[in-house]
Amino acid sequence: MFKFSVDSRKWHISIERSSSVHASNLNIKAPEDSPNTDGIRIQHSTNVTISSSTIKTGDDCIGIGDGSKYININRILCGPGHGISIGSLGENGRSETVEYVTVRRASFYTTENGVRIKTWQGGHGYARHIRFEHISFSRVIRPIIIDQYNCPPYQHCKNYSTAVEVSNILYNDLKGTTSGEIAVELLCSESVPCKNIRMKDIQLDYGINEIMADRSFHIAMYPWFALGHITPYVHMANKLAERGHKISFFLPAKTQHKVEAFNLHPHLITFIPIMVPHVDGLPLGAETTNDVPFPLHPLIMTAMDLTEPDIEAYLRQLKPHFAFYDFTCWLPALTRRLGIKSVVYCIISSATIGYLLCPARKTLEKGMTGSDLLEPPQGFPSSSIKLRAHEAQALAAVTTMDYGSGLSFAERQLMSLSDCDVIGFKTCREIEGPYGEYIGSQFGKPVIFAGPVVPNPPKIALEKQWEKLLSKFQPKTVIFCAFGSECVLKKDQFQELVLGLELTGLPFLVALKPPMGAETIESALPEGFQERLKGRGILYGGWVPQQLILRHRSVGYFVTHCGSGSLAEAMVSDCQLVLLPHVGDQIINARLMAGDLKIGVEVEKGDEDGVFTKYDVCKAVRTLMDHANELGKEVRTNHAQWKEFLLKPGLENSYMDDFVMQLQALV
């Protein structure tokens, strides 16, 4: 659960006279112009760890005061505010101390200060053994400060002969941009000077536009031939192009027209069509997983493997700095020969990869069974992710099946993650930070988070046919059900689904592929269903503009298969989430949403057979409809808070700026 604190009159969280405190996944917010609203204040405490949190205040994001020892600050997003401060120490001649503080992997966005040590003149004591490492700044006025001459504003302070000693301070790998002319300010006392201040790998640039112009780079992208992967890669390409970077995007020739409208920067993003070789067993003209049923997906992968000579020729010609990929496990060896950095940019959640595909699962090498997956791998972060028997069996079968060119899906992913230069995830630390860190430790690779990468709101209006159909219903009453472009239900489960929606008594729009064995969605409906639901139930067997429908005022509920793209769109909408996962990573995504984050209600299924009934569907929806239901209230509250967090001004920019800076560090 993510913990929120909003608009406290003073400090949001005070840790005082405490020991062995661990806090994570905090979201603290106060107005930028509110004085003395520190996010977290630590005093007279030892062994305190603050991690994976976002703090936006009018004062210090974190203030570390007298008597603090063995303090660990890790993965903090700070901004706006006054940064992370040690002090102030020694006011009114007091003897005050701070020691053994580590601040790592913090990101500062448009803050007044970055990392600061401040002490009063005339004080006594020390601030020592302090480490600031792997920190990024985006438009911070004063990124690095030591000030032993702290003095009240607008007062002339006497220069005392005593001061709080500042010693053994390390600044290592601090990078980013400053909006002030003085990036590093060391104001050390003449009588008690700073000692052993070490700086290593500091790179701070003045002005954001200049750095973007001077340091733009070229990225090649080659995602798995599935629209559910290609489309998120296009969204990521747009975010990088906004920062002046050039993208060469390889994709199947006949697929280009399907995503061309999403290219918001055609002067920087170039689609390069790839001819997909024919493989025996594939229908003629098949290019992506959308063109074939699931059992033929490995043949699409085999065809993609056969494009290696063409990709090598393009990369030799284009000479990009980076190559982004996901399933083409042969790409890192190729890019290494060409001097190109390889980035596994994962659309699959880090929770899924961490649970299923890490080296800690020794059974991956000899073949994994369902019983192996009933327990998480050794060292996996504590969470609510648990698999049912039928899910474990299905996931074991998928990960060990041949997935093209004689390699299993697990072998492909292990090779991709083991051989790359860096692993990137389309998510936030606040949502999946512990899982990303676990993967980094398992593979010995740097892991960077791109943030939510929420698609920009469509600039077009909803088509008239959908607007007319939806507008006749009251606000927040329509249930929208969509399962992506590949999910095909069995006929009996399709019927249970629509009958369950009927039982809710609410209007609904169902946009699904026809179930197995049916030519059309209408032919698969239960007898008498259309007559009973005329005017209340809308069923459609083709593509619909999901993002626009989720934003429509009449839509209040979203029954989703828990694909990562659908969840990203849903989390920033006002629709309440009903989770009905189908296959693969959707299962673990559902546990993450319903368990860790508690922002959706999952439809119950049989533990052994995975079958749901119409009553299970109705129960999940009604849990969210019932404003007196405690679980429903908790889920609605959490969803509203997460939506606010994900749409927070500056959040996505901060993540993307940090992502880019970490890529720049590689070259």
Give the structural domain span for 481: 464-646
SS (H, E, C) 317-371: HHCCCEEEECCCCCHHHHHHHHCCEEEEEECCCHHHHHHHCCCCCHHHCCCCCCH
- Of 534 and 242, more confident: 242
* Lowest model confidence (mean pLDDT) among 48-57, 490-499, 548-557, 625-634: 48-57
pLDDT at 278: 92
Active-site annotation holder among 12, 22, 82, 156: 82
Q: Is residue 658 included in any domain, yes or no?
A: no
Domain shared by 220 and 206, yes or no:
no
Q: Could you tell me where the beta strands, DSSP code E, fall in 485-551?
A: 508-511, 537-540
Q: Per the domain annotation, does 544 fall within a domain?
A: yes
Which one, of 39, 38, 102, lies nearest residue 71 by Cα? 102
Mean pLDDT across 548-573? 93
* 10/307: higher pLDDT: 307
pLDDT, one tens digit per residue, over 469-483 is 899 999 999 999 999
Of 205, 138, 194, 201, nearest in space to 169 by CA? 194
Residues 625 and 487: their CA atoms lie apart, in Å, by 26
Contacts of 531 (CB under 8 A, 6+ apart): none
Q: Are residues 164 and 227 in the same domain?
A: no
Does 417 share its domain with 469?
A: no
Based on the fold, state whether residues 51 and 24 are members of the same structural domain: yes
Q: Residue for token digits 């003073």?
A: 10
Mean pLDDT of all residues in 108-115: 89
Max avg pLDDT among 156-165, 204-213, 576-585: 576-585
Angstrom distance (rounded) from CA 478 to CA 406: 46
pLDDT of residue 210: 44
Q: Which of 165, 195, 210 is the last residue of a domain?
A: 210
**DSSP structural state of residue 605:** -
Instruction: Reply yes or no on whether 235 is catalytic.
Output: no
Exposed/middle/buried for residue 369 (C-beta within 10 Å: 0-12, 13-18, 19+)? middle
Over residues 374-426, the pLDDT tens digits come to 999 999 987 788 999 999 999 998 888 899 999 999 999 999 999 999 999 99
In a domain, 468, yes or no: yes
Q: Name the band, by pLDDT with cuts 50, 70 and 90, for residue 362.
A: confident
Residues 15 and 163 reside in one and the same domain:
yes
Q: Which residue, 62, 79, 80, is CA-closest to 71?
A: 62
Domain end residue (candidates: 210, 242, 267): 210
Residue 55 lies in a domain: yes
* Torsion sign, CA atoms 385, 388, 390, 392: positive
Contacts of 136 (CB under 8 A, 6+ apart): 106, 107, 108, 174, 175, 176, 657, 658, 661, 662
Q: For residues 226 and 193, give the distance between their C-alpha atoms in angstroms, rounded to a whole number.
A: 61
- Tell me the pLDDT band of 261, cut-offs 50, 70 and 90: confident
Asked whether residue 4 carries a pLDDT value surpassing 90, the answer given is no
Q: What is the mean pLDDT of residues 30-45?
A: 83
Q: What is the pLDDT of residue 496?
A: 96
Q: What would the mean pLDDT of 178-192 be, rounded to a whole number?
A: 88
One domain, residues 192 and 241: no
Alpha-helix residue ranges (DSSP H) falling in 345-490: 350-356, 389-400, 409-419, 429-443, 464-471
Rounded to an integer, what distance in angstroms lies between the CA atom of residue 238 and that of residue 64?
39
- Strand order through the sheet with 508-511: 537-540, 508-511, 478-482, 555-560, 576-579, 600-602
What does the pLDDT average to over 495-510? 95
**Cα separation of 592 and 575, whole Å?**
18
Q: Predicted confidence band at 212 (pLDDT cuts at 50, 70, 90)?
A: very low
End residue of a domain, out of 401, 422, 454: 454
Task: Tell me the average pLDDT across 544-572.
Answer: 92
pLDDT, position 1 = 39
The lowest-confidence range among 251-260, 457-466, 585-594, 635-644 is 457-466
How confident is the model at residue 209, as a pLDDT?
A: 45
Quick one: DSSP state of residue 437? H
Task: Categorize the per-residue pLDDT at 114 as very low, low, confident or very high, splitting at 50, 70 and 90.
Answer: very high
Token pair 């031939």 is at which residue? 225
Q: Say yes or no: 475 and 383 in one domain.
A: no
662 within domain boundaries: no
667 assigned to some structural domain: no
CATH at 499: 3.40.50.2000
- Given the structure tokens 């901004």, which residue do they identify? 79
Judgement on whether residues 205 and 228 belong to the same structural domain of the protein: no
Residue 155 lies in a domain: yes
What single DSSP character describes residue 592? I
Q: What is the mean pLDDT of the chain?
A: 89
Task: Specify the pTM.
Answer: 0.71
Same domain, 195 and 282: no
Overall average pLDDT of the 224-247 stretch: 93
Angle between helices 409-419 and 389-400 (to 10 degrees): 70
In angstroms, the CA 413 to CA 133 distance is 30
In a shared domain, residues 78 and 121: yes
Has residue 329 been placed in a domain? Answer: yes
- Residue 31 pLDDT class (50, 70, 90 cuts): confident
Strand partners, 559: 481, 578
Query: 60-82: buried (b, 16+ CB within 10 Å) or exposed (e) per residue?
Result: bbbbbbbbbbbbbbbbbbbbbbb
CATH of the domain at 171: 2.160.20.10
| Number of domains present in the structure of the chain | 3
| Average pLDDT over every residue of 305-331 | 97
Confidence of residue 155 (pLDDT cuts 50, 70, 90): low
* Residues 109, 92 share a domain: yes
Residues 316 and 382 in one domain: yes
Q: Return d(Cα 435, Cα 350) in angstroms, integer.
A: 6
